[in-house]
Amino acid sequence: MAQYSRVSGTVGLITLQNPPVNALCAAVRQGIVEMLKKALSDSKVKSVVICGQNGIFCGGADIKEFGMNMSGPPLVQVIHAIEDANKPMVAAIEGVALGGGLELALGCHYRIAHSKARLGLPEVILGLLPAAGGTQRLPRLIGVPAALDLITTGRHVIAAEALQLGIVDQVTDHKTVDAAVKLAQSVAGKPLDARRISTYPCARPSDLDALFEGEMQKVRQRARGAIAPVACVQAVQAAATLPYTQGIEREKELMVTLFTSGQARALQYLFFSQRAVSKWSTPSGARWDTSKPGPIHKVAVIGLGTMGRGITVALAQTGLSVVAVETQEKQLMGAKKAVSNMLEQGAKRRGVAPTLDKISYSPNIQAIADADLVIEAVFEDMALKKQVFQQLAAVCKPGTFLCTNTSSLDVDQLASQTRSPELVVGMHFFAPAHVMKLLEVVYGPRTSPQAVATAMELGKKMGKVSVAVGNCQGFVGNRMLKLYLEQAFFLLEEGATPELVDRALEEFGFAMGVFRMSDLSGLDVGWKVRKGLMLGETDVSSGQSARIRQGCRYSPLGDLLCEQGRFGQKTGQGWYQYDKPGGRVASSDPWLHSFLESYRAKHGLVARHIDHQEVLERCLYAMINEGFRILEEGIAAGPEDIDVIYVFGYSWPRHRGGPMFYADMVGLAKVLERLEHYQQAHPDVPYLQPCSLLRRLVASGSPPIQRWREVIKKPHSQL
Ligand SMILES: CCCCCCCC/C=C\C/C=C/C(=O)SCCNC(=O)CCNC(=O)[C@H](O)C(C)(C)COP(=O)(O)OP(=O)(O)OC[C@H]1O[C@@H](n2cnc3c(N)ncnc32)[C@H](O)[C@@H]1OP(=O)(O)O
C-alpha cells in the first residue's frame, strides 16, 4: 500500500498505492509509517519525496472506513512522524491533494505541485473537518482569512492559486516527481526547524474577534442547519488563539462531535450515492456496464425558450457541435443574443474562451437532418410536442436519438409518434438548465438500453448528475413534489398560513419554503399542468364538491390565486406580496390572510392550531411515502436515486441526505405510524395510505437504507 525505493542515489521515494485515488486507508497509513522508518534509517538517504501512484497524490482519508471500526495508525500521528523527521520531506503533488491528502502534504517540509493539480480541504462537504492537523497548520501557513475560506467552503484550488496563497513552494509543468527529487536534493542537509508548520505562530489580525464573529454569522446563514461549517470556524479559531498542541486537542474534540453526528453520515451517504447513480440499471435488466452509448458528434435543440437556451449553453460548453432551431424569427434573434451572453459570462467565470462558434442557429427544422441526437425543448404541451416528434421522425437521419425535455409528459406517447420508439428518451432538465446539476433521464417501456446509456453519457459530458428513472406522471421528482405541495395547500385550508409552513420548512433546512418557492417559480406553471390534467377549474359550486376532484380531496387555493392574476414574484403578488412585479423580497400579505379566512368560511372549514412538527410530517412523509411507491414500482432503482434527485434538483438540505435517507434516520416504524395517523385523520387523501413496501420494510426489522434493495420486490415493467 506504500512502496519505497531510493532514487538518484540519495533520495528516498515513498509512493502511496491505493487505486483509484490513493485514499489513506489503514494499510496505506501503516505503509507510510514503515517506509518512513526505512528512509530515515537508510544512511545513504539525505531527503525523502512522498508521491502517489498513477499521477494522483492522494484523495484523502478513506471515506469507506468512516462507517467501520477504525484500525491502523491514526493519520494525525502519521503526519506528526513526517513533520518530526530529521531529513527533508517533500510532497510531490500531482492530480489531487485533498482532505487528509493535503494534510499529509502540510506535514511535509516542502511541497511541489504540478500546474494541473487541485488541492483542497473538502471535509466540510462530508460533514467533517480536516482533523489531521489541517485546521491548525493551514492558518499558520496562509493566514486565518484564507484558511477559513478554504476550510469552510471545501473549495479546491488549482496549483497556481495554491502557490499564490503559499500552500505550495513550487509549481511545475514537467514530471512532478522528477522536479520533487531535484528539490529534495537541493534542500538535503538544510535545517528543518523553520519548515515545520506546526511550530509557526498563527498570524493574528488585529480585529480577530470581529473577524470570527462575522465569519460565524456568514457561515451559519449559509449552512442552513449544517453543523460542520460552524465546527470548522471553531477549529480555526482555536488555531488562532491556542498553542498548537491545545489546538489539535480542540480539533479532535470537534471532530468527534461531527463524526458521530447523523449529518456526517448523511453527507457521506450522498457522496457515494452521487457516484452510485451513474451505475444505473432498469427493472428489465439493462445496465450501465452492459450498455454502450451511441457516438454523438452533433446535437440539435428544438425550441429556444428559457429551457432550450439553457440546454444549448450547456451543450456548447461540452465542445459538441450544436444546431439550435427556433421557428419564430423574433424568438430566434432573442435566443442568439441570450445564449451568447450566457456563454460569455460562463467562460469569463471559468477563465476559458467562450464556445460561441460551436452553435449554428436556424429557423428551419431541416437543419437538424444530420444531428446524432436531438433534444426537443418546446413548450410543455403534449399536442405540440407530438407534432414536433412527427416532424423529427420525418427529418432526422436513421438512428438519431430523440430526446424530449419534459417535466411530466408521457415519454412513451411521444415515442409512439416515431418509427423508432427505442431511440426516444426523456431528458428532464431543471431551470436554469446550464446551471442546475440534475438531469432525470427518463426511459419508456420501449426505450433501448443504448438510448439510456447515450443520454446518461451526454448528461455526464454536460457536467450533470444524471439519474435514470422510469416513465410515469411527473417521473420521480415532480411526482413526489406534487404531494408535498398538495399537503401544504391542505394545511392552509386547515388553519396554517404560508408564513408558518415556510418557516417550518426553512428551519428544517430548505433554502425556501414551499410558498416562497412557488412564488419564485410562478404559480401559473402548476396551474397550467393542473388544467391539463382537468383539475384546475374552479367554477364548481361552493361546499365540499369544490374541494373534490376525481373522488379525492383537492385544494383549489392555487387555482383561485391564479384566477386573480396572482402568479407570484412576476406579478408582484402570490402567496406573499412584493414591492413591484419582479420584486424579490416577500412580505406578508393581509389580503391573502383575509382571502384564506373567507375561503375557510365559504367551505365550512374551522381553522385549528398547526405546529411545525405537523407541517414537516404532513409535507415530508407524504412525499416519502410516494418515494416508497416509486421504489416498489421500479421507477427508481434504489433510494439513492431519489435522494440524489431531491438534493440536486429540489434543494433538499444536503446534511439531511435526501427524503429516503431522512426516513431511515427518523425510523421507518415512526414514519409508518405517523402516516397511519394522518391517513385516519384524512381518509379522503388516498396517498397517505402507507405504501406496502414501507410496511414490508418495517415488518422485516427496518433494515438500514443500504439494504432496502434486498426487500424491494423485483418489479415487472420491461425495458
Ligand atoms: C471518533 C473520531 C475519529 C476521527 C477519526 C477520523 C480521522 C480522519 C482524519 C483526518 C480527516 C481527513 C478526512 C478526509 O480526508 S475525508 C476525505 C476528503 N477527500 C475528499 O473529500 C475527496 C473525495 N473524492 C473526490 O472528490 C473525487 O473522488 C476525486 C476528485 C478524488 C476524484 O474524482 P473522479 O476522478 O471524478 O473520480 P470519482 O469521484 O468517481 O472517484 C473514483 C472512485 O474513488 C472513490 N473515492 C474517491 N475518493 C475517495 C476517498 N477519499 N475515500 C474512498 N473512496 C474514494 C469513489 O467513491 C469512486 O469509487 P467508485 O464509485 O466505487 O468507483
Percent of the chain with pLDDT over 70: 97
Q: Same domain for 539 and 426?
A: no
Task: State whether the beta carbon of 275 lies less than 6 angstroms from ligand 1.
Answer: yes
Task: State whether the beta carbon of 100 lies less than 6 angstroms from ligand 1.
Answer: yes
pLDDT at 404 over 50: yes
pLDDT at 544: 52
pLDDT at 463 over 80: yes
259, 290, 317 - which closes a domain: 259
Q: Which three three-digit cell numbers place residue 626?
A: 410516494
Q: Same domain for 558 and 421?
A: no
CA dihedral 629, 633, 634, 636 (to 10 degrees): -30
CA dihedral 383, 389, 391, 395 (to 10 degrees): 170
Which residue's C-alpha comes closest to atom 26 of ligand 1? 59
CATH of the domain at 190: 3.90.226.10
Residue 499 falls in the annotated catalytic set: no
State which ligand 1 atom lies nearest to the alpha carbon of 260: 1
**What is the CA angle 254-260-266, rounded to 5?**
110
pLDDT at 718: 41
pLDDT at 350: 86
Q: Are 164 and 78 in contact (CB under 8 A)?
A: no
Q: Same domain for 15 and 129?
A: yes
- Residue 453 CA to ligand 1 center (angstroms) comes to 26
Among 34, 65, 94, 123, the one annotated catalytic: 123
| Residue-wise pLDDT tens digits, 547-557 | 888 788 999 99
Tally of CB atoms within 10 A around 519: 29
| Residue-wise pLDDT tens digits, 555-569 | 999 999 999 999 999
Where helices occur in 154-227 by DSSP H, the ranges are 159-165, 176-187, 208-223
- Residue 25 CA to ligand 1 center (angstroms) comes to 10
CATH of the domain at 506: 1.10.1040.10
Is 479 among the domain residues? no
| Residue-wise pLDDT tens digits, 179-235 | 999 999 999 999 999 999 999 999 988 899 999 999 999 999 999 999 999 999 999
Task: State whether the beta carbon of 256 lies less than 6 angstroms from ligand 1.
Answer: yes
- Residue 371 CA to ligand 1 center (angstroms) comes to 38
Q: Same domain for 310 and 439?
A: yes
For residue 683, give Cα distances in angstroms to 312, 492, 557, 677. Answer: 46, 18, 20, 10
Distance, CA of 393 to CA of 399 (rounded, Å):
10
Question: One-letter amino acid identity for 221?
Answer: Q
Q: Same domain for 323 and 437?
A: yes
State which ligand 1 atom lies nearest to the alpha carbon of 121: 18
Q: Which three three-digit cell numbers place residue 67?
A: 462507517
Q: Which of 21, 253, 258 to mutate to test the pocket of ligand 1 (most atoms within 8 A of CB)?
A: 21
Q: Any bridge partners for residue 568, and if so which?
A: 573
State which ligand 1 atom lies nearest to the alpha carbon of 132: 10
583, 602, 621 - which closes a domain: 602
- Residue 156 CA to ligand 1 center (angstroms) comes to 14
pLDDT at 146 over 60: yes
State which ligand 1 atom lies nearest to the alpha carbon of 60: 15
Q: Same domain for 74 and 198?
A: yes
Task: Given the cut 0.90, state whether the ipTM is greater than it.
Answer: yes
Q: Are 605 and 493 in contact (CB under 8 A)?
A: yes
Q: Which of 22, 63, 279 to mutate to test the pocket of ligand 1 (most atoms within 8 A of CB)?
A: 63
Q: What is the mean pLDDT of residues 305-334?
A: 96
602, 627, 647 - which closes a domain: 602
| Residue-wise pLDDT tens digits, 260-282 | 889 999 999 999 999 999 999 99
Is 288 among the domain residues? no
Is 607 among the domain residues? no
Which residue's C-alpha comes closest to atom 48 of ligand 1? 59
Task: State whether the beta carbon of 60 lies less than 6 angstroms from ligand 1.
Answer: yes
- Residue 273 CA to ligand 1 center (angstroms) comes to 13
Q: Are 622 and 640 in contact (CB under 8 A)?
A: no
Give the three-state DSSP class for 709. helix
- Residue 60 CA to ligand 1 center (angstroms) comes to 6
pLDDT at 70: 83
Provide DSSP, 60-127: -B-GGGGGS---SS-HHHHHHHHHH-SS-EEEEE-SEEETHHHHHHHHSSEEEEETT-EEE-GGGGGT
Q: What is the mean pLDDT of residues 222-251?
A: 97
pLDDT at 540: 53
| Residue-wise pLDDT tens digits, 108-121 | 999 999 999 999 99
Q: Same domain for 502 and 572?
A: yes
Under the banding of pLDDT at 50, 70 and 90, the label for residue 38 is very high
User: Domain range spanning residue 564?
Assistant: 496-602
Task: State whether the beta carbon of 78 lies less than 6 angstroms from ligand 1.
Answer: no
The mean predicted confidence, pLDDT, of the chain is 95
Which residue's C-alpha comes closest to atom 38 of ligand 1? 275
Classify residue 621 by its DSSP letter: I
End-to-end alpha-carbon separation of the chain, Å?
43
Is 477 among the domain residues? no
Q: Same domain for 9 and 82?
A: yes
- Residue 103 CA to ligand 1 center (angstroms) comes to 14
Under the banding of pLDDT at 50, 70 and 90, the label for residue 717 is very low
Name the pTM for this structure.
0.94
Classify residue 284 by its DSSP letter: T
Which residue's C-alpha comes closest to atom 31 of ligand 1? 59
pLDDT at 67: 79
Is 78 among the domain residues? yes
pLDDT at 542 over 70: no
For residue 416, give Cα distances in angstroms to 229, 383, 387, 401, 421. Answer: 51, 13, 11, 14, 6
Provide DSSP, 337-404: HHHHHHHHHHHHHHTS---GGGEEEES-GGGGTT-SEEEE---S-HHHHHHHHHHHHHHSPTT-EEEE
- Range with the poorest average pLDDT among 59-73, 98-112, 342-356, 523-537: 523-537
Which residue's C-alpha comes closest to atom 42 of ligand 1? 20
Q: Which three three-digit cell numbers place residue 405?
A: 425535455
Is 398 among the domain residues? yes
pLDDT at 719: 45
Task: State whether the beta carbon of 631 lies less than 6 angstroms from ligand 1.
Answer: no
Q: Same domain for 528 and 464?
A: no
Distance, CA of 547 to CA of 279 (rounded, Å):
43
CATH of the domain at 377: 3.40.50.720
Under the banding of pLDDT at 50, 70 and 90, the label for residue 536 is low
pLDDT at 447 over 70: yes
Under the banding of pLDDT at 50, 70 and 90, the label for residue 546 is confident
- Residue 62 CA to ligand 1 center (angstroms) comes to 6
Residue 123 falls in the annotated catalytic set: yes
Under the banding of pLDDT at 50, 70 and 90, the label for residue 716 is very low
Which residue's C-alpha comes closest to atom 29 of ligand 1? 59
Distance, CA of 524 to CA of 531 (rounded, Å):
10
- Residue 152 CA to ligand 1 center (angstroms) comes to 18
Distance, CA of 58 to CA of 119 (rounded, Å):
10
Is 409 among the domain residues? yes
pLDDT at 320: 95
Q: Same domain for 138 and 58?
A: yes
Task: State whether the beta carbon of 61 lies less than 6 angstroms from ligand 1.
Answer: yes
- Residue 259 CA to ligand 1 center (angstroms) comes to 16
Task: State whether the beta carbon of 123 lies less than 6 angstroms from ligand 1.
Answer: yes
Q: Which three three-digit cell numbers place residue 106?
A: 502540510
Task: State whether the beta carbon of 279 lies less than 6 angstroms from ligand 1.
Answer: no
Which residue has cell 376532484? 549
Task: State whether the beta carbon of 465 lies less than 6 angstroms from ligand 1.
Answer: no
Is 39 among the domain residues? yes
Classify residue 617 by its DSSP letter: I
| Number of compact structural domains in the chain | 4
| Residue-wise pLDDT tens digits, 607-632 | 999 999 999 999 999 999 999 999 99
Which residue's C-alpha comes closest to atom 23 of ligand 1? 59
**What is the CA angle 576-577-578, rounded to 5?**
125
Task: State whether the beta carbon of 120 lies less than 6 angstroms from ligand 1.
Answer: no
State which ligand 1 atom lies nearest to the alpha carbon of 130: 11
Tally of CB atoms within 10 A around 551: 8
Task: State whether the beta carbon of 134 lies less than 6 angstroms from ligand 1.
Answer: no
Task: State whether the beta carbon of 66 lies less than 6 angstroms from ligand 1.
Answer: no
| Residue-wise pLDDT tens digits, 579-610 | 999 999 999 999 999 999 999 999 999 999 99
Q: Same domain for 438 and 511?
A: no
Among 34, 65, 94, 103, the one annotated catalytic: 103
Q: Same domain for 196 and 127?
A: yes
